[in-house]
């Protein structure tokens, strides 16, 4: 930071967190449904969206969880397509 008295890390704009207990609350644990079907994925998405909107979850953690749900959803669709295209064995 040019023309400043302090460097970036010691500058006044980098003040400590005002309410540290809120930061700890954002690290709280919670459970999501195992993403085995579309309903479970939708329930987990809803839970994550509520926590994101309430600022109860760290954005990086939320992003990782959303990415995992996206992968689960894609894998589930791929599995369902594979099951639909398999020929039916007749005896």
For residue 88, what pLDDT is reported?
Answer: 64
DSSP tag of 13: T
For residue 15, what pLDDT is reported?
Answer: 63
With DSSP H G I counted as helix, E B as strand and the rest as coil, what are the percentages for the chain, rounded to 5? 55, 0, 45
For residue 22, what pLDDT is reported?
Answer: 65
Q: Answer whether 65's CB lies under 8 Å from 33's CB.
A: no
Structure tokens at 60: 């990086």
For residue 63, what pLDDT is reported?
Answer: 94
For residue 64, what pLDDT is reported?
Answer: 94
For residue 85, what pLDDT is reported?
Answer: 82
For residue 45, what pLDDT is reported?
Answer: 95
Q: Which residues of the chain have pLDDT under 50?
A: none
For residue 17, what pLDDT is reported?
Answer: 61
């Amino acid at each position: 930071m040019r023309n400043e008295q302090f460097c970036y890390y010691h500058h006044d704009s980098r003040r400590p967190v005002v309410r540290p207990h809120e930061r700890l609350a954002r690290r709280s644990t919670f459970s999501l449904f195992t993403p085995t079907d579309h309903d479970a994925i939708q329930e987990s998405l809803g839970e994550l969206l509520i926590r994101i909107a309430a600022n109860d979850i760290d954005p990086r953690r939320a992003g990782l969880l959303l990415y995992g749900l996206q992968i689960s959803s894609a894998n589930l669709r791929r599995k369902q397509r594979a099951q639909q295209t398999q020929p039916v064995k007749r005896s």
